[in-house]
């Protein structure tokens, strides 16, 4: 993902949730994951499931 796109997302979220850093971080992460899923041509939830499966495989040594 382009650095400019990431910066735009951060700016948008910071304006949407001023003064709440924790909420900003949650929404920034969610939007970045959604953009990554979009770039791969899959749904947000399918992308999340894929990432969770990767983590599970790493943790369990699969």
pLDDT at position 62 is 56
Q: What is the pTM of this model?
A: 0.77
Name the domain count of the chain.
1
pLDDT at position 15 is 97
* Cβ neighbours of residue 31 closer than 8 Å, sequence gap 6 or more: 9, 13
Domain containing 22: what range? 3-59
pLDDT at position 55 is 84
pLDDT tens-digit map of 28-62:
999 999 999 999 999 999 999 999 998 877 666 65
Smallest Cα–Cα separation from 36: which of 16, 54, 51? 51
pLDDT tens-digit map of 16-37:
999 999 999 999 999 999 999 9
């Amino acid at each position: 993902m382009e650095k400019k796109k990431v910066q735009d997302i951060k700016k948008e979220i910071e304006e949407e949730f001023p003064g709440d850093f924790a909420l900003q971080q949650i929404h920034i992460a969610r939007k970045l994951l959604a953009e990554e899923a979009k770039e791969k041509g899959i749904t947000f939830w399918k992308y999340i499931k894929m990432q969770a499966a990767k983590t599970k495989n790493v943790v369990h040594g699969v």
